Structure 1
């Protein structure tokens, strides 16, 4: 979801101390890469993220997040196919808290109005012999079947 073009452009601040690089600043993207790359490395060191073996040649693929300019999608996944979405909720919260803490350490903050999450999980459909996306009612604790 995009939030549109900014109505304002960057102007050097008249207040001190100045924090951040300012909306519309042409140096904003490289500054964000410099800051976020350190936080991404921190997330990697703490064991957060996603990893799997590629289907054809079994190469290890890892990812901690997807970033575009100043927007980031943090990824947290189960360590095996045996783990359900419900099983990893605690580690998902830890990953979100770690990312927010890293952002806070840089002097910035997460914008709650732009922050949201999705639980994407699969369940085995034994009738069709296929993995399927689990629907919302199947993710509720008192209806934990995989149909």
Structure 2
């Protein structure tokens, strides 16, 4: 018996529904890089790690907002019309999930960056260091996606 077919595949409509929902929750590094390069103002990228880790290197254009400090008071300054894309170190870290959870619980629209900083660096997207989000380099706006 086929190992793949041991559990029957979903109907095309079930697959469509599931995959649409999955894409609603996540963004990948290439999509986020494209939006940052084109200065899409509807998204804000949040580095949910500690300030020390943020200073040591972060996505160019991301703001630092550690998930441990997120609450109703600290998020009051955030624009509720934006979509917040959270990230942390990578798939072995759940800081982005905790940040997205806290923001969603407070009424914000959120997505998580698949693979976090690890996948961002692996794909060669621009980085920034220090306390500032950093300016997107013009030379980085033509990145190619391998998928």
Q: TM-score range by the shorter chain?
A: under 0.3
Report the structure number with the largest CA radius of gyration: 1
Q: TM-score, normalised by structure 1?
A: 0.26
Instruction: Indicate the structure whose relative CO is greater, using CA pairs within 8 Å and at least 6 residues apart.
Output: 2
Kindly indicate which of the two structures has a greater share of residues assigned to helix. 2
